[in-house]
Amino acid sequence: MKYLYIGLGGGLGAVCRYLVSGWFLRFGVGFPLGTLAVNLLGSFWLGFFMELVTQTLLIAPEVRWLVAVGFLGSFTTFSTFAYESHTLLKEGEWLTSFLNVALSVGLGLTGVRLGETLAKLLVR
């Protein structure tokens, strides 16, 4: 059942991400506003939801799977990245938080470049 809740939430989150990002395309400003909006909205709602989960026992695990893991996890993985980095900061793990941010961004950009390079080599 756990995977069913996660899958249902994930499907809904992916559709909502597509709709929100698409809505911002109509502004055509040459900046990825849709992605920024999705990342900011997802981060806000994950922080809000997880605070509710940790402060009350009224939220069933199934709802957490559906909302946090499924919906918000599919809506944007950036929200999880931001939440985990923030949690490390709250716990006083400044170096670990910095490394998480630096490695995720730096290695993520490197991964995109390597994938792009490999694809170009294969297409030739």
Residue 68: CB partners within 8 Å, gap ≥ 6? 46, 49, 50, 53
CA torsion 24-65-97-87 (nearest 10°) is: 100
pLDDT score recorded for residue 92: 96
pLDDT score recorded for residue 19: 95
pLDDT score recorded for residue 115: 85
* CB distance 33 to 96 below 8 Å: no
Q: Distance of CA 99 to CAs 43, 84, 91, 93, 111, Å? A: 19, 12, 15, 10, 17
pLDDT score recorded for residue 28: 72
Helix boundaries (H) for the chain: 2-25, 33-55, 61-64, 73-75, 77-90, 94-123
pLDDT score recorded for residue 55: 79
pLDDT score recorded for residue 123: 83
> CA neighbours within 13 Å on the CB side: how many for 122?
6
pTM: 0.76
Which residues in the chain show pLDDT less than 50? none
pLDDT score recorded for residue 109: 92
